[in-house]
Every structure is written in structure tokens, then in C-alpha cells.
Chains A and B, each alone.
Chain A
Amino acid sequence: MDAITDNLDLFVSGYWTSLKICLIALVGSLVLGTIIAACRVSPVAPLRWIGATWVNMIRNAPLTVLLFFFAFGLPEIGVLGSYWVFGVSALIIYTSAFVCEALRAGINSVSSGQAEAARAIGLPFGATLREVILPQAFRTSIPPLGSVLIAMFKNSAVLGAFGVGGDLFSVSDTLTSARGYAATPVLLGVAVGYLLITLPAGALLALLERKTAILR
């Protein structure tokens, strides 16, 4: 356990870095995923194609391939940036496809009469979606969205392996490779760190689900 107690500050700073990555990616993927979902249900056919293509391409590519592309492919074609920005962007883009589909399940669960009533009072498509469909869809989507977001929190560990320094997972690399600590206690510490992100997140989602339940 010395591995953890001796390096507590490293673990704590790794935890905060990972939490920061997770929160930025959470907001980013929710926003982007909602936009893609809006495209997929839009009355404009080209937008629907763009949405479907996005989901099918991103969802079916492994996250590591996407990260490789961002980290090494983009600089080759002249797009420069830090690993940090590339890593978080890749995570957001990857997760957006799953957020989109979880949301679309929620959108499909809202009865068509709700949209018809909104259109009947003269709300255009965007306002119908914002005012009537999405608020109800979000609530229904919370359980699958929760799974998607928790998977994303864990996927953020892959960023550490890609040289986005200082996050929780790269702490294990630093301690085992560079400083020679035994792997097991270090990895246990890292695992506990991730649990400290995902378990409260799960509890928050459960609370959110209870608070926003709607009578039908």
C-alpha cells in the first residue's frame, strides 16, 4: 500500500485531471450528440443522411483508431494541436454517436401526438424539438445515456495511454514503469479513482431520473 500512500498527491492530481477530462467530454458529447440526433429526426433529408453517416462511421470505429487518427493523422495533414485537445475531441466525437442513439430511443418513445400538437399550434421543427420532444426524450433516455456516459468516463483512461499526461491512468504508468512500484497496488488505486468518478455519476443519474419522472 506504500505505492498509494507515498504517492497520494500524484493520485489526487491524476483524479482531478481525469475528472476534468470527463466533465468536458460529458458536456461536449451531450451537446454534439443532441445536434446529431436532431439531424437524424429532421424533416430535411440531407441532414438525416449526415446524422446517419456520422453515427455509422463513428460508432463502428474503435476508440483507439479514432485516437490514433487524431493524434497522428491530423498533424500529418497540417492540423496541429496538443494531445490533450486531440484526445478530448476524439472522446467527445466517439461518444456523441452513442449519445445520439440513446437520445433517439427517447425521441421515438415520445408519442407522435405530442409532436403533432406542437406543430398544430404553429411551432416550427426546431421549437417542437426543443420545447416538446427533447425534454420528454431526455428523461426517458437517462438510463441508456447513463451507461453511455459511464462507458465514456472509463474510456477516458485510453487517453492516458496516448500521452495525455497527468490523468489517473497515466499515474499507473509513471509509478510502475518509471519508479518501479509493483503493478497490483498501483492499479488498485487507479481503479478506486475511477470508481470515485463513476459511482457518484451513477447515483446522480438515478437521482435525476427520479426528479424528472413525468406522469403520462
Chain B
Amino acid sequence: MGEELVRSDNEPGRPLVVLDGVDKHFGSLHVLKDINLTVHAGEVVVVIGPSGSGKSTLCRVINRLETIDSGSITLDGQELPKEGRDLARLRADVGMVFQSFNLFAHKTILENITLGPTRVRKVDAKRARQEAMALLERVGVAAQAEKYPAQLSGGQQQRVAIARALAMNPKVMLFDEPTSALDPEMINEVLDVMTGLARDGMTMVVVTHEMGFARRAANRVVFMADGEIVEENAPEHFFTNPQSHRAQDFLSKILTN
């Protein structure tokens, strides 16, 4: 049932997101320092690191919710456009899931999903509704379709947010700490959806503190600290045998409790 979610033009292995020498400052704070990162089609890259390390910013520059000072970012071979219609078109191909869900508060769950397809992709309303219901079914919240976001639990809202992003049939999905705002008992229902997506071959960049998910679903773990990529490796190597001091220190702090 998952295959149709992954675009047929997404043949695995081709470089999809390429960050080349990316630098960014927030005022005097150097949040991204010479970031070089390539995410290939079908790959799941999990970004971890202490808070303030720049991992959320890294996620947000990929669809230009944050601008960069220098360097280049290409998406499927195309340089990120400046503001305007071209940027909007490109963002439609990049799904984004936020820490705070950000469902449209004045629209029903169903309308949240269909807005993008009808307004951006010009899908007719009936088909958009059918596809939205199928997606809601997949993430397990179809019964809530007519409710408003505030009537749903955090875990349900986040699953809707994932469905909203999937409805655009994206080339890549960005997850910016998708479970950090959730009560503990709701984390797994969201991670399960994400794990399913990863298994289906979706290209994903996931900023998270969920080490279990990283071990289970990631092809590669990127460890960031102080705005730099300090280490990147396959999860089994990274977690059992971290090379850098900072990664060892970070892992010792989070894995002991």
C-alpha cells in the first residue's frame, strides 16, 4: 500500500538534496559552519546533536524557511530559488513536519490535507478528498476527518501533519523534531508512521532525539555540534563506536538515563 507514496521518478541513489559550503549566522551567532551534506534518493538521514547545535536550522534551510549567508543548496539538481513563485513550486516538492504540528487551526483535518493539492497542484476537490481520506486512513486518523486540529491529541495532530505533507507527493520529507512536543505515550504512534515511510523508500531528513528511531530507520546518522557536522556514519557504527569526543560525550549523556 505504501509504494504509491513514493514518486516513481525517485529512482534510488541519485543525489536529491545537496548542501555545499553552507554558512549561516543569526546576528553574531554562527549557526551553520561550512555544511556539506548530500542526501540521496531513498535515503533516511537522521540529524542528532545537543540543542543549539544548528540541526533544526539545517533542516529549515533545505526548503528555505531560513535563508543562508553563503554556499549553495540544490534540490534534485536545481538551485533553491529566491522568494517568489519558483520557490513556492519547489517547496511543494519538499514535505515538512514541524515540532509544533502547525496544522491550520481554522480548517478541519480534511481541509488541512486538501488545501495544498487543490490550491497548489490544482487537483479537483473530489479527488483531493479521496486521496486525503486514504492518507488519513494510512496514518490512522480517518475517523477525525471532520474535526478541528485543537480537538485532536498531539500524536494525532502530528500524524495529520505528516499526511498533509505526503498529500503533496513530495520528493523528500523534512522532519524538524517531530516528537519533541509530544507526551511520551504518543511518541511511538508518530514514529511508527515515520518508520513505515522510511521502509517504503521515502527520502527523509529527520532531526530528532529519538535514538531508537535513528537505530531502526536511519541509513546514516549526522551528528552536529556548534553549527558543524562533527561526524556522520551508519547508525550501527555511530552508536557503538563514535569517533569524535563530542559525539562520545553526547551519547554518554543521553544513553545513561
A residues in contact (CB < 8 Å) with B: 43, 111, 113-114, 116-124, 127, 131-132, 135-136, 139, 214-216
Contact = CB atoms under 8 A, between A and B. Distances in A.
B104 A132 contact: yes
Contacts, number: 78
B104 A124 contact: no
B91 A215 contact: no
B94 interface: yes
B88 A124 contact: yes
B182 to A, nearest CB: 16
Contacts of B213: none
Question: What size tier do the contact residues of chain B reach?
Answer: 20 to 34
Question: Binding site of A, secondary structure by majority: helix, strand, loop or mixed?
Answer: helix
A131 B89 CA distance: 17
Contact of B63 (A43, A120, A124): A120
Contacts of B83: 43
Interface of B: 63, 65, 83-85, 88-96, 98, 100, 102-106, 115-116, 119-120, 148-151, 161, 164-165, 168
19 contacts: A111-B102, A113-B102, A116-B102, A117-B161, A117-B164, A119-B88, A120-B95, A120-B98, A121-B115, A122-B89, A122-B90, A123-B88, A123-B120, A124-B85, A127-B120, A135-B106, A139-B106, A214-B105, A216-B105
A134 to B, nearest CB: 10
B98 A215 contact: no
Given A113-B100, A131-B115, A215-B151, A119 B91 contact: yes
Nearest to B64: A119
Given A131-B115, A131-B119, A121 B168 contact: yes
Nearest to B168: A121
Given A116-B98, A131-B115, A121 B120 contact: yes
Contacts of A124: 84-85, 88
